[in-house]
């Protein structure tokens, strides 16, 4: 009977999160490790799929926290059902859940509902904040006058993208997008 550790963070910027999970799971002496950086809402996760493929009856999947496995109750319940059907146990370290017992399975189901509610609340707060914000997410729209100023400053006055961005109070990347869009070249006369 082997123990398989699964570690996940949402983005590549969360390397500390990976290290924290690895450190906590090391105490359980896993035989195999599967680590990835992908959204928990994504259904098809390469490393999770690999971990599930190597698990056999009597084995244990070990994760740091419930939300490392998924963000929706449906996703989590389907996963636990799949593991249960195959005779595979799930151990969730921070919640102290072990699905080898009926109580562990009940607690898992309750916590997966809480995890989904938490994700929904975060989404709702984000939508409310965006609704109140003048910037609705994404890049701010640049009006024609700003674009014309960029063109003149870059082409006629030979200013750098950084100088233009500072003078017009726009991002340097916006200046580069306009330069690319209009195929500007300030080396010609």
Catalytic residue among 10, 72, 100, 171: 10
Biggest distance spanned by C-alpha atoms of the chain = 79
Task: Give the contacts of 61 (CB within 8 A, at least 6 positions apart).
Answer: 4, 6, 51, 52, 55, 83, 88, 89, 90, 91
Q: How many CB atoms lie within 10 A of CB 76?
A: 23
10 belongs to the catalytic site: yes
Alpha-carbon span 114 to 161, nearest angstrom: 48
Active-site residues, by number, are 10
């Amino acid at each position: 009977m082997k123990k398989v550790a699964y570690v996940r963070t949402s983005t590549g910027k969360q390397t500390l999160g990976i290290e924290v999970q690895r450190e906590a799971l090391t105490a359980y002496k896993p035989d195999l490790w599967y680590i990835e950086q992908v959204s928990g809402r994504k259904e098809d996760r390469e490393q999770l799929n690999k971990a599930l493929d190597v698990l056999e009856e009597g084995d244990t999947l070990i994760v740091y926290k419930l939300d490392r496995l998924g963000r929706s109750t449906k996703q989590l319940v389907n996963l636990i059902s799949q593991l249960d059907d195959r005779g595979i146990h799930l151990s969730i370290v921070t919640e102290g859940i072990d699905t080898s017992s009926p109580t562990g399975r009940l607690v898992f189901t309750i916590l997966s509902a809480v995890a989904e509610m938490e994700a929904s609340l975060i989404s709702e707060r984000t939508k409310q904040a965006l609704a109140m914000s003048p910037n609705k997410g994404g890049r701010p729209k640049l009006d024609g006058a700003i674009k014309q100023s960029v063109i003149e400053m870059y082409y006629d006055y030979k200013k750098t993208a950084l100088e233009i961005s500072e003078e017009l109070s726009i991002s340097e990347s916006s200046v580069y997008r306009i330069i690319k869009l209009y195929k500007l070249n300030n080396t010609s006369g």
